[in-house]
Structure 1
Amino acid sequence: MVQASENPQAKPDLPRTPRVTYRMTAPAAALTEAGTLAVFGFGAGTPEVDDPRWLRVPLECFDAPAPVEVWQVDGKVVCGRQHNVRWSAGGGWLFASIELDERETGGIEGAAQQAYAELRQFMRMRDERSVLRIWNYVADINLGDGDAERYKRFCDGRAAGLSDFFADGFPAATAIGHHHRDPVLQIYLLACLDDGASVENPRQTSAWRYPRQYGRTSPGFARGMLMPARDALAISGTAAVVGHASAHEGNLEAQLEETLLNLEALLATADMPAGFDTHSSLKAYVRHAVDAGRVGEMVRRRLPGVPVLLMHGDVCRRELLVEIDGWRFK
């Protein structure tokens, strides 16, 4: 993958980025629509649907009732299962997901290693092998101290499972802690026939260059990823990190403002329009449920009209109270 600054211009001959929307509709209805690559439901109240394109995300949404998230592409979609991997493909794009129970893998490190090894093996059989964006949902992500913290052990296992798969550059990614009763690790990704362009934030140290204090294995992700047609930016989980240090410990409002500054810096580096609009699908992950109302109010004030899902999730550093990720379309 190349750096964004090398070729920021639109490439209309390449596959258009999947459309990402939040909608109040039944999962079964969304799955019958033409070009549906994936549909996501949030929280314990979501139904069971026997379709590889349907995924129940183990995060509760503070919006009630919660919408579903729908990805749609231009083209016919096919889908299937390969051992633990569920997948769908169409229009030059691939969705793949895996969910493992830690109790069957010896813990979070073993689950991460097995999950990423299976995904790596699956991707090597596909034509759409350029992984552009990954989401990771980890139970009790901040439990443990030092190198024994579960997020750091997840990073160790992920690196072991991937081997050299991302030797040419990391995708955009999110890692968030969930509160599901079962210790499940859930991972899903978006890949394409064509390469994207990774984007770094000049206000932040690149994640793979973090110093040793953040664990034996640095987190492996880019701050953002320009899609192949340069028509959208996939934004990694972004929080109040300046350089490599967390900022404004204990101050929710200041952390959210710092996060928004980081988002604007990322957009500028990617040569994307400033700010967000009604086509920008974002998620705000809130650590403490009691803060959801304040975060929602601040988001509505600072990002008026922007669709933002408020999710109950733990940021990978325990001192961080809120994180935002999502999409910016041109």
Structure 2
Amino acid sequence: MPTPSAPAVLPDFTLSPALAPLDGRHLLGVLQYEAADLGTRQSAWRARQAADLLTAPAIDVPFKGHAGIRTAQDWLAQAPTSAPGPRLPAPDWREAGLQLRCHSPTPVQAGHFGAIRYRESGALLFGALHIPLPASGACAAAVRAAYADLFRLLTASGKPHLVRIWNYVPRVTAINDQGMEVYRDFNLGRSQAFDASGYDTRHMPAATGIGCEGDHIAVAFLASTEAGLNFENPRQISAYRYPAVHGPRPPSFARATAWPHGRPQWLFISGTASIIGHQTVHIDQVMAQTREALNNVRLLLAARGASLHDVDLLTLYVRHARDVAAVAAHVAAALAPQTRMLVTQADICRNDLLVEMEALARVA
């Protein structure tokens, strides 16, 4: 049983417009979210970024569309109502890019390990890499090699404990030339790398695996000298124990990770959907799936004495643009008014899932 540590000074996670000023001395890493139909968006953004970003570990995540940064109360204000009153504009699916930035409380040092760019500071390391997705869609070997490099970096850095991973996979449910869904092939390579590196189910951290546009699998990760507390949802079979109906190897992640062991702590909720046991429920019912996913998030928060009102940032993935406003308003109504929400239109790792969400909560 780990000994509780003294109160920690936690890293900060900010959600900002892509062109907002950066604090380079303390910037650990960046996840850049962009709308896939912005044409030459990436080069234009990078040309305007502070030079420091060019050496920061960053991944570019093109989605079908996103509706920007809004608080829960703003999403509620723009939802259609029967009563007249002021409204926010409808979501603009072509607005500029957004960044999720991880800041360290102390200055950082940059480095690279093969194709992985990283920054570290004190107990933390944030890294990012891109894995080319072959035209064939067969990606297991490339994923296995990239994750093996990731594990070697963690060992060499003295920060061996994964706290959170974000995986963005193009053509996520397309069938590759070997007759397997791209996401299942991704899981095969990831699982093989976990096995080869000696990681068992106790070490699997919170993670997201969601569809994106483009031709590169993007991976970002946060690691630490201190292991997080990884835990599961009693309503669900652990993802790493899924039966073979979901592919030759199961996904390698925990439902949630609390870090560090002392308080305050961050609670990372993995990508969460309308799944009971290992099966999708409420097929073709987007609002019922939204309610079920929220119930799963609520249960994970409760395991650490938290509630939906403790969520600092919630990211919502909605398969169809037509469902965005209704889903976002329903989720916003369950959160504290000032909770930040990032809403995207994205493909999800099962064709029968219409909604997925992940959360970051600060627990005192």
Same fold (TM over 0.5): yes
So what's the TM-score if we normalise by structure 1?
0.88
Deviation string 1:135-182 (CA, Å, 9 cap, x unpaired) is 1111111112997111111111112233234224211111001122xx
1:76 is displaced (CA, Å) by 1.3
8 Å Cα contact 2:59/2:218 also seen in 1: no
SS in 2 for 1:50: helix
Q: Which structure has the larger Rg over C-alpha atoms?
A: 2
So what's the TM-score if we normalise by structure 2?
0.81
Distance 1:322 1:42 in 2: 18
Greater alpha carbon shift after TM alignment, 110-119 vs 127-136: 110-119
Distance 1:133 1:321 in 2: 24
Distance 1:202 1:245 in 2: 14
Q: Could you tell me which amino acid in structure 2 is paired with residue 175 of structure 1? A: G
SS in 2 for 1:233: strand
Distance 1:233 1:191 in 2: 14
User: Residue 98 of structure 2 aligns with which residue?
Assistant: 67
Distance 1:25 1:164 in 2: 36
Query: Which sections of structure 2, spanning at least 5 residues, go unmatched?
Result: 47-52, 69-94
8 Å Cα contact 2:161/2:224 also seen in 1: yes
Greater alpha carbon shift after TM alignment, 320-329 vs 97-106: 97-106
Distance 2:198 2:209 in 1: 19
User: Residue 113 of structure 1 aligns with which residue?
Assistant: 144
Number of residue pairs aligned between Structure 1 and Structure 2 = 317
User: Residue 12 of structure 2 aligns with which residue?
Assistant: 19
| Aligned partner (choices 178, 182, 187) of residue 212 of structure 2 | 178
Greater alpha carbon shift after TM alignment, 165-174 vs 259-268: 165-174
Deviation string 1:253-296 (CA, Å, 9 cap, x unpaired) is 00010011101111112x2321234x611110111222222222
Distance 1:106 1:281 in 2: 32
User: Residue 81 of structure 2 aligns with which residue?
Assistant: none
The sequence identity of aligned pairs, in percent, is: 29
Distance 1:39 1:97 in 2: 9
* 1:28-177 alignment, distance < 5 Å: 29-32=21-24, 34-43=25-34, 44=36, 45-46=41-42, 47-48=45-46, 49-59=53-63, 60-63=65-68, 64-103=95-134, 107-144=138-175, 148-162=180-194, 163-167=196-200, 168-177=202-211
Distance 2:113 2:293 in 1: 38
Q: Could you tell me which amino acid in structure 1 is paired with residue 14 of structure 2? A: T
8 Å Cα contact 1:38/1:70 also seen in 2: yes
Distance 1:41 1:68 in 2: 4
| Aligned partner (choices 314, 320, 324) of residue 347 of structure 2 | 314
Distance 1:152 1:196 in 2: 26
Deviation string 1:175-200 (CA, Å, 9 cap, x unpaired) is 001122xx211111000011111111
Greater alpha carbon shift after TM alignment, 160-169 vs 111-120: 160-169
Q: Could you tell me which amino acid in structure 2 is paired with residue 276 of structure 1? A: H
Distance 2:321 2:111 in 1: 36
Deviation string 1:181-233 (CA, Å, 9 cap, x unpaired) is xx211111000011111111111111111112111101111000010244121
Distance 1:234 1:17 in 2: 13
1:119 is displaced (CA, Å) by 1.1
8 Å Cα contact 1:147/1:153 also seen in 2: no
SS in 1 for 2:6: coil
8 Å Cα contact 1:35/1:74 also seen in 2: yes
Deviation string 1:1-60 (CA, Å, 9 cap, x unpaired) is xxxxx67x96335x5332112123625x2243x422122321153522522233322334
User: Residue 248 of structure 1 aligns with which residue?
Assistant: 282
Greater alpha carbon shift after TM alignment, 292-301 vs 241-250: 292-301
Query: Which sections of structure 1, spanning at least 5 residues, go unmatched?
Result: 1-5
| Aligned partner (choices 235, 240, 259) of residue 293 of structure 2 | 259
8 Å Cα contact 1:16/1:229 also seen in 2: no
Greater alpha carbon shift after TM alignment, 87-96 vs 106-115: 106-115
User: Residue 314 of structure 2 aligns with which residue?
Assistant: 282
| Aligned partner (choices 226, 231, 234) of residue 194 of structure 1 | 226
Aligned-pair RMSD on alpha carbons? 2.3
Q: Could you tell me which amino acid in structure 2 is paired with residue 254 of structure 1? A: A
8 Å Cα contact 2:60/2:218 also seen in 1: no
Q: Could you tell me which amino acid in structure 2 is paired with residue 140 of structure 1? A: R
User: Residue 324 of structure 1 aligns with which residue?
Assistant: 357
Q: Could you tell me which amino acid in structure 1 is paired with residue 67 of structure 2? A: F
| Aligned partner (choices 204, 208, 214) of residue 240 of structure 2 | 208
Distance 1:88 1:105 in 2: 33
